[in-house]
Structure 1
Amino acid sequence: MAPPIRPAGSRLLRRYAGGHRQAVVCFHHAGGGMSAYRGWAQALAARADVVLVQLKGREDRVAEPLTDRLDDLSVELAREICELPYEDVVLVGHSMGAALAWAVADAVWAVYRRRVRVVVSAQAPPPYAGRDLPGVPEVLGGPADGSAGAAAPGPADGLHAETLAADLAWMAREFPALVPRALPVDLHCVLADRDHLVDPAAAAGWAALTTGRFTHRTVDGGHMYLLTDPAPLLALAGAVAGGDRTLQEVCVDQ
């Protein structure tokens, strides 16, 4: 077995470098951190380097509250990503991370005129203005009013109650600022068949936001399938990073 790859980089980006010209940059979900992608660096070692985004307010950054404006954070992430020594970058985001990854792809194009490839998982597309973003009970699978609460999340679930509440409040404040506009990027959309938060029609909304290649697939599981069975998303990220042109392009009703 190959020795584990050790991370390096900034507080915001943790880079697992293996000498590749391609990188997969992973954006975590609300209530969690970069540990949601544990094992990805080793699993993708033959195809790409892995860079994990670690936002404020979680894990080793728990003392730093996440109060950044979305525009500022997106530009900061775009700058740090573009300063990395990669010719090809794939952004992978799950749930909250998917919307943030899309905002970063927008900033990378707007500021640096650079195309990335994007994998969005378990998230509806912008616009978020006027849309009811989920609260803690909805994320945990309980009713909207919280009258019959689900069990409190814990580290074993990859969700931390205080971090989740803070992230959802940040999303409600900042996500309406994300302007939907089509980008010249390849976009891959992944939805779960038992996701109680994201309508299957979300695929059509994502398809409308790219002038590049678009694929869509449905995987088995609920909203947090990334934690229970990451294999489908991991396999897709590896295929995209490896330039697999056999990925089926699909058309969805718009």
Structure 2
Amino acid sequence: MDRTWIRVVRERPEAPVRLVCFPHAGGAASAFLPLGRRAGDDIEILAVQYPGRQDRYREPAVTELGQLADRVADVLAGAVPGPFAFLGHSMGAVVAFEVTRRLERRGAPAPQVLFVSGRRAPSLVREEDVHQRDDAGVLAEMKRLGGTDTDLLADPEVVEMIMPALRADYTAVETYRCDPPGAVVRSPIEVLIGDSDPRVSVAEAKDWAHHTTAGCGLRVFPGGHFYLTDRAAEVMAHITATLRLP
């Protein structure tokens, strides 16, 4: 497996299943460390490391979501040992969905379950302009959503380092259009959201049901857009139960 792209968050090589995680806009593989700390021995946690951040900060970040999905699918096709599931948060939910579509088209192994978190259904288009704002406007959106230490966002050196990837990610996800709008996958979809997330409503989350032929569930947790970190133990318990692990 390509360790440039895929990082081991919680190593359990003998586990019966792997959970491959896809970060939010501006996020990195390390965003899933809280989840990994709460995983049992029966699940190994992997995470995708997009270009342009952390140890890949010298690489250009990808500004087109389809291209990003192509590259991740190239890495993952046939490379994950044994059964696996996907978990994508926010932008990562759409990336995980598009990677699943690509794996299915190739006839490669696809996720047993596609967990999509903090994101409306792919067919629901909303005109958004965060990627067109100045740096202060982009940072204001990050502060609104939470999930990032505000002290870090006040450090000019940190902002200079993270802004290229952050702006590229917002460009990718805000210009994304599902093609065709009614695209479906054969993997079952499990939708996870926070009950006070300003980015997605329950109605928008329910529309993911139109994008699978294998059934769709919905679980609402207390919290905002980054409920995933605050409720990591509950989320991990739900994932484990959904995958029918002991």
* Superposed pair shares fold, TM > 0.5: yes
Structure 2 residue aligned with 1:237: 239
Structure-2 separation of matches of 1:57 and 1:188: 29
Structure 2 residue aligned with 1:86, among 81, 85, 88?
81
* TM-score normalised by L of structure 1: 0.77
Is 1:119 matched up with 2:115?
yes
Rate the CA distance shift 1:165–1:189 in 2: closer, same or farther, 3 A: same
Q: Show structure 2 runs of 5+ residues with no match.
A: 131-137
Comparing 60-69 with 94-103, greater Cα deviation is found at 60-69
Unaligned 5+ segments in structure 1 are 1-7, 143-150, 245-254
Whichever structure has more helix as a proportion of its residues is 2
Larger displacement relative to structure 2 (208-217 or 117-126): 208-217
The number of equivalent residue pairs is 226
What is the Cα deviation at residue 241 of structure 1?
Answer: 3.6
Contact 1:48 1:241 in 2 (8 A): no
Counterpart-to-counterpart distance in 1, 2:105 and 2:25? 26
Q: 2:128 aligns with which of 112, 127, 133?
A: 133
Residues 35 and 232, structure 2, Cα contact 8 Å, conserved in 1: no
Listed one character per residue, the Cα deviations across residues 73-92 of structure 1 (whole Å, up to 9, x for unaligned) are: 32332232232253311000
The match for 2:24 is: 29
Counterpart CA distance in 1 for 2:225 and 2:35 is: 20
Query: Are the counterparts in 2 of residues 27 and 101 from structure 1 also a CA contact under 8 Å?
Result: yes
Amino acid at match of 1:176: R
Change (3 A) 1:87 1:123: same
Alpha-carbon distance in 2 for matches of 1:19, 1:119:
22
More off after superposition, 200-209 vs 133-142: 133-142
The reply on whether 1:64 has 2:65 as its aligned counterpart is no
Summarize the Cα distance change of 1:79–1:67 in structure 2 as closer, same or farther, 3 Å threshold.
closer
1:105-254 → structure 2 map (5 Å cutoff) = 105-112=100-107, 114-116=109-111, 117-127=113-123, 129=125, 131-133=126-128, 135=130, 136=138, 137-141=140-144, 154=152, 162=163, 163-173=165-175, 175-176=176-177, 178-179=179-180, 180-243=182-245
User: SS state of the match for residue 15, structure 2?
Assistant: coil
Return structure 1 stretches of 4+ with deviation > 6 angstroms: none
Q: Distance in 2 between matches of 1:62 and 1:188?
A: 32
Q: Is the 8 A contact 1:21 1:85 kept in 2?
A: no
Contact 2:128–2:174, Cα closer than 8 Å, also in 1: yes
Cα-to-partner distance string for 1:149-173 (whole Å, 9 max, x where unaligned): xx957379xx966143332123223
Distance in 2 separating the partners of 1:177 and 1:48: 31
Q: Is the 8 A contact 1:29 1:96 kept in 2?
A: yes
Q: Offset of 1:193 from its aligned partner?
A: 0.6
Amino acid at match of 1:110: R
Please give the TM-score of this superposition, normalised by the length of structure 2.
0.79
The 1-side partners of 2:99 and 2:229 are apart by 23
Aligned alpha-carbon RMSD (Å): 2.9
Distance in 2, matches of 1:229 and 1:19, equals 26
**Is the Cα contact below 8 Å between 1:70 and 1:177 reproduced in 2?**
no
Matched AA of 2:18? A
